[in-house]
Amino acid sequence: MTMIPSYRRQRADPKKRLRMKKTWILIFVLVAGTGLLISGCAGWLGPPTEIQYDSDTTQILMDRLQHHNDGLGAVKGLGRVTVTTSNDKRVYERAVWVGADPGRLRFAFLAPSGLPVFSMSCDEIWLTALNHSDGAYYRRQIGDNSLSRFLPVSIKCVDLFALLVGRPPRLVYDTVLIADDGTAGQDDIEIELKRRFRGTVGRLWVDRERGELRSVELIDINHNRLYEARVQEMQTIAGYRLPTNITLNGPEGALTLEAKRVWPESTVTEDMFRIEPPSSN
């Protein structure tokens, strides 16, 4: 019969037991501390888990702004574009543009003959441009970066589309409040957007009567104005309230879109936003 061997239990050295105990305590403290640190950093750097509003009325107003023209899938425009920098001003009397969800745009600046002089297309990832006069072609992955390579204002493609349909740009914030600056009798309501450890990241001015966006100011991480956008001359077109004049002002210059005609669209084709390089033939 095979016997299971038995072993006599030996008592551990007291000093060794004390060292092991201290080691386990140290490991526990390090693990717990690391978890708290990661959790804290995630709360600081990551998006807020819940946005705090100073009142239910403010929350309703913000929700209305963010969902303005929610059913509008695309919009086309024809009009004039003015680009102003510190030492130059260019007016494109004939410009056409099209924008679509979730944030795609294409602009074409036309000569008096109607032929395109310069075309630019962007979405949430790519920026493409073509100078038709000399065939210079540009394509770059921009991700969340702005369009400052071709525009004098540091605005993102998705945010410019939002303005075209009367919505505010995308911002990360965790507190929303109505600014109490003693101007309750004014036509506009001022909304302040704040973020932990940064303070104010943006301000919105809203038409008091209609609840529509009038203007917006974005603040960068250094507490300087990134740009200001004014949404003006709202018109009801095919049941949608759309701006026909948008002005952007930033430290490097300004951009103004004056629409002579606007067409709301339900859908657009992908080829509208595709700019191919010129043929080598």
Residue range 88-140, pLDDT digits in tens: 899 999 999 999 998 999 999 998 888 899 999 998 889 999 999 899 999 99
Q: What's the N-to-C CA distance of the chain in angstroms? A: 94
- The whole model's pTM is what? 0.80
Residue range 42-83, pLDDT digits in tens: 444 445 568 999 999 999 999 999 999 998 999 999 999 999
Q: What are the residue boundaries of the structural domains of the chain, listed by start?
A: 52-273
Q: How far apart are CA 129 and CA 136, in angstroms?
A: 8
Using alpha carbons only, what angle is made at residue 106 by residues 124 and 216, rounded to the nearest 5 degrees?
Answer: 65
Q: Which candidate, 208, 203, 211, places its Cα nearest to that of 166? A: 211
pLDDT of amino acid 37: 37
Pick the range with the lowest mean pLDDT from 29-38, 50-59, 83-92, 205-214: 29-38
**What DSSP element (H or E) covers 33?**
helix 14-45
Query: Which architecture, in CATH terms, is 52-273?
Result: Clam (2.50)
Is the torsion defined by CA of 21, 27, 28, 29 positive or negative? positive
Which tokens sit at 36?
A: 């708290």
Outline where 132-280 has alpha helix (H): 157-164
pLDDT of amino acid 7: 31
Indicate the SS3 state at residue 139.
Answer: strand
Confidence of residue 220 (pLDDT cuts 50, 70, 90): very high
Which tokens sit at 106?
A: 């294409």
Q: Say how many C-beta atoms besides its own lie within 10 A of residue 239's C-beta.
A: 9
Residue, of 24 and 127, whose pLDDT is higher = 127
Q: How far apart are CA 134 and CA 137, in angstroms?
A: 9
Task: Compute the mean pLDDT over every residue in the chain, rounded to the nearest whole number.
Answer: 83
**Res 21 pLDDT > 60:** no
Q: How far apart are CA 265 and CA 73, in angstroms?
A: 6
Q: How far apart are CA 185 and CA 208, in angstroms?
A: 10
Q: Which candidate, 221, 198, 253, places its Cα nearest to that of 48? A: 198
Confidence of residue 150 (pLDDT cuts 50, 70, 90): confident
Residues of the chain above pLDDT 70, percent: 80
pLDDT of amino acid 18: 54
Residue range 235-270, pLDDT digits in tens: 999 999 999 999 999 999 999 999 999 999 877 888
